Structure 1
Amino acid sequence: MEGPWGFSEEQFQAACRQLDQPAPAEAEGWQLLVESMGVTIYRLYHEQSGLYEYKIFGGLTECPPELCADVYMDLEYRKQWDQYVKELCEKTCNGKRIIYWEVKYPFPLSNRDYVYIREQRNIDVDGRKIWVALAKSVSLPECPVNPGIIRVEGYEQSLVIESDGKTGSKVYMYYFDNPGGMIPSWLVNWAAKSGVPAFLKDMQRACLNYCKKT
C-alpha cells in the first residue's frame, strides 16, 4: 500500500509501462506540444491550477541508463551542472528522510523551494532492466518556509530509463510543478515548455562529464 512517505509497487509498474505506450490519448485530454531534436512533449490541462501536466519521451545518446540514473540521483553533482540550484541536500525531518531544494528565480521573482521524497528502483520487466525514480512534494511543519522564499506544494516527477539498445538511453519523464505566487500561468507554461527539453540536454551533458569525472 502507498503511504504518505512512500510509493507503491503499482506506481513504479505504471511508470515502467509508459515506455511502451503509444502517444497519450487525445480523448483523455493530452495534446502534442512540441517535437524537436528527438524529444516529444505532451501536455494535459490541470484545471484547478491553470497549468499543465507533462509527459516527455526522448533519448540520451552516449549515456547508458545506469549512468543516467546515477547522475539523476547524485544531489551533490547536480549542484555543479544545474545552474538553477541554490541549495540542494538531504535532511531528516521528524525522523523522515526528505530532500530540500531551493531554486533560483530571476529578479524580481522570489526563489522557490521544495520539500520532497524520492525513491529509485531497478525493475526487471521480462528480462529488460529499467531504472525508475519517483518524486513528490510533502508537507512538513518541521520544515518551515524561509522568509522571502515561496514553498512549492504541488510537485511530482517520474523518470524512467532503459537502454536504447546501443550506447544510449531511452527516457520517459512525467512532470508537474505549481510554483505558486503571482506568476501568470502563461509564463509558467512557457517556461515548462522550454525548460523540460533544456533539462534533458543539461542532464546529457552532465552524464558525459560525470563519466570523465569518475
Structure 2
Amino acid sequence: MYRLIAVLLLLFKITGATAQNDWKFKTEKDGIKVYTSTVSTSKFKAIKVECELNTTASQMIKVILDVSNGPEWLDHTKSCRLIKQVSPSELYYYSEVNIPWPVQNRDFVAHLMVRQNPDTRVVTVDGPAVSGLVPVKQGVVRVHSSKSLWIITPAGPNVVKVVYTLQVDPGGDVPAWLVNMLAGEGPLKSFEGLKLQLKKPVYQNAALAFIKD
C-alpha cells in the first residue's frame, strides 16, 4: 500500500507554475529523470520531470487535452471527464484518483490553458486546481492546492524536450514524510504511460490550429 501512496505525487494532468531553484536528482528510468525540491510554504516536496520524447508538440497537446482518456496513462487515475470546453486550447475538467484503502481517494477540478510562443514555438500548459464547478463527494478528499507546469520545447524533427513541474498538497492525513520518500514512483509510471499513449493511432499526425510544430 505504501508504494501506491506515491501516486499522489503525480495525480494531475493539471498545470500552473512551480518555481524552484534547488532541484535534487531523485531517480531515472528510460530517459525519464525525476527531481525533488523543498518548498518553504509546504511540507510536501515539489516534483520535476525531464525527458525527450519522439513526438511533436501537437501530439503532446492532443494527449494532454484529451482528458477523458487520462486514465489510460495517468497512474491510478480512476476517472476524468470534461466539464467545460472554453475554446480549442482551454477547458475545465474533473478527475478522481483511486488510492488503495485505508487512504481515501482524491479528486480535483482543473482549468487547462495552452499557450505557444510564436517566436520560439515553446508550448506551455497551465491549469491550477480551481474551486467549485463539481460538488464535493462524500468519502473523497478534494484537492484545493496544486500548481504545475508543462514546458514543451522543439528539439529536432519529431522530437520535443518536456519539463513538467508539480507542487501539490494532497490534503487529508497522508504523512508528508512518506509522500516525499516515494516521490519518484508516481511520475515515472505516468511518463512511461505517456510514452505508450503517444504511440496510439488516434494521436498520430496530430494537427492543431493553435500549435505550430
CA 1:197–1:176 in structure 2 vs 1: closer, same or farther (change >3 Å)? same
Show CA shifts across 1:95-140 (max 9, x none): xx63211111112211100012110112223xx3222111101222
Instruction: Find the partner of 1:119 among 91, 113, 134.
Output: 113
Q: Quote the RMSD (CA, aligned, Å).
A: 2.7
Q: Percent identity?
A: 23
Q: What secondary structure is seen at the aligned counterpart in 1 of 2:196?
A: helix
Q: What secondary structure is seen at the aligned counterpart in 2 of 1:181?
A: coil
CA contact (8 A) 1:63 1:204 kept: no
How far apart in 2 are the matches of 1:64 and 1:129?
11
How far apart in 2 are the matches of 1:212 and 1:35?
26
Q: Counterpart of 1:5?
A: none
More helix by share: 1
Q: Where does structure 1 lack aligned partners over 5 or more consecutive residues?
A: 1-10, 19-23
Amino acid at match of 2:128: K
How far apart in 1 are the matches of 2:74 and 2:49?
19
Matched length: 185
More strand by share: 1
1:168 maps onto 2:159 in alignment: yes
Q: Where does structure 2 lack aligned partners over 5 or more consecutive residues?
A: 1-14, 85-90, 206-213
TM-score by length of 2: 0.75
Q: What secondary structure is seen at the aligned counterpart in 1 of 2:180?
A: helix
CA 1:86–1:40 in structure 2 vs 1: closer, same or farther (change >3 Å)? closer
Question: 1:1-214, aligned counterparts within 5 Å?
Answer: 25=21, 29-60=22-53, 62-82=54-74, 84-91=76-83, 98-125=92-119, 128-140=120-132, 143-211=134-202
Higher Cα Rg, which structure? 1
TM-score by length of 1: 0.74
Deviation at 1:210, TM superposition (A): 4.1
After the TM superposition, list the runs of 4 or more consecutive aligned residues in structure 1 that deviate by more than 6 angstroms: none
